[in-house]
């Protein structure tokens, strides 16, 4: 059996968390986290400690540092794959950001835990073992999320359980990418991915991208406050298949005319957005210049908007690009209605 060389990039999260007297926080290094788990036969692991934070403290700057670190690691042809340990709260955003830029056949596999390091019934060791096994055995699947015996595509996968071990799923997909069990990795489908983006230069300014939610009695005050705060992109989390009010439509139109990139997601857990309703609905929001997010939810929609803004190009080019990153095309969502 050929030895597979896997690099473990440790970023913190619950899998690296220990009791701090009042609560848990990430403080264990990657070597300690790795030592808690069995390593699959034929796998050798090199540990790289990148940072050690609770994932609620994740930032775009840290995510871009992770992206560039992955590129640096994969510059070594002897590396067969990468595992990233990450907190679960923002894992879906980091994984999707890396997937949008990943242009290598070798896998990048995210995993983590719902229970802290050293818990007698902890899920971290099993997730680590599975992630190493996947990283050593698959290719051409992009960035993956391995959790609780399942293999998920980065795109569309979100945290769906606050505490349960089966923390991640793609609510709009029929089946995960694969499953693990009995010492094998069973891949069932290949994720659909857009053409990979170039990695932003180190000195690239990070644009502000905010998320604003619509609800009963909502008005555009927070939407307009985000623009006043300097947002260059906004994700409106609408109701239903992408619906808000005429007041939001007016605010969206003003923002788009000012060069702000606006995307519309939904607070509903599963299903696509669609141009069905007027009177402030998706029909009017799209006419005002917003882009519907397809089946992606708010966090990953924000990442798509952010990535489009980080790319080079004029406003109309970025509008086209964000549609590609979201996996929707002109008129495609309307036809799905």
Look-up of token digits 């996947």: 134
For helices 91-101 and 60-74, the axis angle rounded to 10 degrees is 50
Beta bridge partners of 110: 84, 145
Query: Which residues lie below 8 Å from residue 33, measured CB to CB, with a gap of 6+?
Result: 8, 10, 15, 16, 85, 117, 124, 128
How far is it, in rounded angstroms, from Cα 321 to Cα 144? 22
94 is in an annotated binding site: no
Cβ pair 337, 274 in contact under 8 A: yes
Q: Of the listed 7, 11, 88, 245, which one is catalytic?
A: 88
203 is in an annotated binding site: no
Q: Of the listed 14, 85, 90, 157, which one is catalytic?
A: 14
Handedness of CA 321, 211, 268, 238 (dihedral sign): negative
- Catalytic residue list contains 120: no
Length of the chain: 337
- Catalytic residue list contains 162: no
307 is in an annotated binding site: no
Phi, psi for 249 (deg, rounded to 5): -60, -45
Known binding residues for substrate: 55, 88-89
Residues with a catalytic annotation lie at 14, 88
Known binding residues: 55, 88-89
């Amino acid at each position: 059996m050929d030895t597979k060389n896997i690099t473990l990039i440790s970023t913190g999260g619950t899998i690296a968390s220990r009791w701090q007297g009042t609560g848990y926080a990430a403080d264990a290094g990657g070597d300690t986290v790795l030592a808690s788990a069995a390593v699959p036969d034929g796998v050798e692991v090199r540990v790289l400690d990148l940072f050690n934070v609770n994932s609620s403290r994740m930032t775009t700057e840290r995510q871009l540092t992770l992206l560039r670190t992955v590129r640096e690691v994969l510059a070594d042809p002897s590396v067969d794959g990468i595992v990233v340990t990450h907190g679960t709260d923002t894992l879906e955003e980091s994984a999707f950001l890396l997937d949008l830029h990943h242009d290598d056949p070798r896998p990048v596999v995210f995993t983590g835990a719902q229970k802290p390091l050293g818990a007698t019934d902890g899920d971290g060791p099993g997730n680590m073992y599975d992630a190493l096994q996947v990283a050593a055995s698959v290719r051409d699947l992009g960035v993956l999320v391995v959790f609780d015996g399942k293999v998920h595509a980065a795109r569309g996968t979100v945290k769906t359980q606050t505490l349960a071990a089966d923390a991640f799923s793609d609510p709009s997909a029929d089946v995960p990418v694969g499953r693990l069990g009995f010492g094998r990795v069973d891949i069932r489908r290949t994720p659909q991915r857009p053409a990979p983006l170039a990695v932003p230069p180190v000195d690239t300014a990070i644009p502000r991208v905010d998320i604003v939610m619509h609800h009963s009695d909502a008005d555009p005050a927070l939407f307009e406050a985000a623009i006043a705060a300097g947002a260059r992109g906004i994700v409106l989390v609408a109701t239903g298949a992408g619906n808000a009010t005429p007041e939001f439509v007016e605010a969206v139109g003003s923002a788009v005319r000012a060069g702000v990139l606006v995307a519309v997601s939904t607070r509903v857990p599963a299903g696509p957005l669609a141009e069905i309703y007027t009177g402030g609905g998706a029909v009017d929001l799209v006419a005002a210049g917003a882009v519907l997010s397809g089946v992606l939810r708010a966090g990953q929609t924000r990442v798509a908007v952010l990535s489009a803004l980080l790319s080079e190009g004029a406003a109309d080019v970025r509008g086209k690009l964000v549609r590609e990153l979201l996996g929707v095309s002109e008129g495609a969502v309307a036809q799905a209605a």
